[in-house]
Amino acid sequence: MMTQPPFLISGDGLAIVSPASIINPDYVKGAVERLESWPLGVSVSLHCLGESGVYSGTVDERTDDFRNALHTPEVKAILCSRGGYGTVHLLDRLADDVARNPKWIIGFSDISALHALCVSRGIMSLHAPMCKHLTAEPADDRCTQYLRQILFGQIPEYHEKPHPLNRQGEGRGMLVGGNLAVLCGLIGTPYDIFRPGSVLFIEDIAEAPYKIERMLYQLKLAGRLASLSGLIVGRFTEYTENEGLGGTLYELIYRLVEEYDYPVCFDFPVGHVSDNLPLIEGAEVLFSVGKESVDLAFCIK
């Protein structure tokens, strides 16, 4: 059983924190303006705009910011300003705080580690765009609008275009996933996100195809791929195809899961792209891959 954090109402508080890398202040400013227009009461954590080497703050500072947001009653959701690297430093420190204070934690990329923490503690979270997207994209951007709708309890259904490599079928299970490199780094830890019967979504940035294949072979050899109810292959960006490996990246992934009988879709709009659909991690989903459409429905109210 997963705990669903309370949905927001107008005027609720939302805190912006930086659990990993340094953030451009202009992106935080833009996100504040967008979120206040919804309307929400937005606060910016003490070290959100800080700098400690490549991080927004020391481990203690970043932990304190996140912990304060979790323990502040007025704050109903926490938006991570950006990813980068560094979230893994906070997992053991925040595990109990997250479990005792279920709130919507929002972000993607390196924030996949926090989503894994939430799953480990039985809390739903929101894999979704962050400050840069809220600043750079127009108000009517569909991902921005879906994020707003979900936070306020209006749950969308997604109907996306098919891909030639898709394998048709239907699956049902708990939705988990995120950045592939981050998730593979958590295998064998208390924050291992791979559960039998799950619908898994994956994406990554600046990883060579052979590295992606190696990570997926790790999952295959560990039995993680065989136990899925469905696989959503998102967008992989900033890499160069290497046909010497025997095909495109998507073709390599297709062959890796060819022996399984669950539905698989490719090029789903999730990842380091502007069209990055918000996904509710920890929610039960119905996942259907057909000739004309790829459909994803969240089984929550």
Where residue 205 falls (left for φ over 0; alpha for ψ -120 to 50; beta otherwise) is beta
| Mean pLDDT confidence for 47-57 | 98
pLDDT in tens, 136-179: 999 999 999 999 999 999 999 999 999 999 999 999 999 999 99
Distances from the Cα of 126 to the Cαs of 15, 111, 130, 244, in angstroms? 14, 10, 11, 37
Domain with CATH 3.40.50.10740 in the chain: 13-151
DSSP string, 12-47: -EEEEE-SSB---HHHHHHHHHHHHTTT-EEEE-TT
Q: Is residue 133 very low, low, confident or very high in pLDDT (cuts 50, 70, 90)?
A: very high
Quickly name the fold that domain 157-298 has: Glucose Oxidase; domain 1 (3.50.30)
Give the pLDDT of residue 165.
98
Shortest CA distance to 158 belongs to which of 127, 181, 131, 183?
127
- For 97, residues 6+ apart whose C-beta sits below 8 A from its C-beta are 66, 67, 70, 71
Give the pLDDT of residue 142.
98
CA distance 148 to 242: 39
CA distance 133 to 181: 22
Looking at the predicted structure, is the pLDDT value of residue 113 above 90?
yes
Give the pLDDT of residue 209.
98
Give the pLDDT of residue 212.
98
Give the pLDDT of residue 37.
98
Domain with CATH 3.50.30.60 in the chain: 157-298
Question: CA dihedral defined by 118, 38, 275, 255, rounded to 10 degrees?
Answer: 20
Looking at the predicted structure, is the pLDDT value of residue 237 above 90?
yes
| Mean pLDDT confidence for 88-116 | 98
Going by CATH, does the domain composed of 13-151 fall within 3.40.50.10740?
yes
Distances from the Cα of 78 to the Cαs of 4, 121, 126, 158, 179, in angstroms? 14, 17, 10, 24, 19
